[in-house]
Copies of this chain bind each other. A is one copy, B any other.
């Protein structure tokens, strides 16, 4: 049994879902561990993770659009507004999605379903450079 840990950078240019499946897979390959779990961790409170359909881009567009309607900017009830109108909605969207995900693997390959991709979900409007930790544990 061993542990392999690597940080990956995810440059973002505004709100949206950025697929990181390949980047995670690259870390898994480097680890040379055959079977176990990969954990992915977002080190942010305004960008989150989600495992979502990666076939039809309309799914990502609809998901983003629906979430923006659920958590609109400019809610006059918000007290935390000093970091911009998109900051408090970003925190709420993080609370509603994931900070960590755990994916099993076997034979050196993640056991994702056919349509599953791993995404970093950027909730801020500005360009940013997000940081995700990938940890592989297994034998």
Residues of A that sit less than 8 Å from B by CB? 1-3, 5, 7, 35-37, 39, 41-45, 50-53, 56, 58-59, 61-63, 65-67, 69-71, 75, 77-80, 88, 91-92, 94-104, 106, 111-113, 115-116, 131, 133, 135, 137-139
Contact = CB atoms under 8 A, between A and B. Distances in A.
Contact of A45 (B94, B104, B116): B116
11 contacts: A1-B2, A3-B36, A43-B112, A58-B79, A62-B78, A62-B88, A62-B91, A62-B92, A66-B77, A100-B103, A102-B102
Contacts of A138: 3, 137
Copies of the protein in its oligomer: 3
A58 B43 contact: no
Given A1-B2, A3-B138, A116-B43, A51 B99 contact: yes
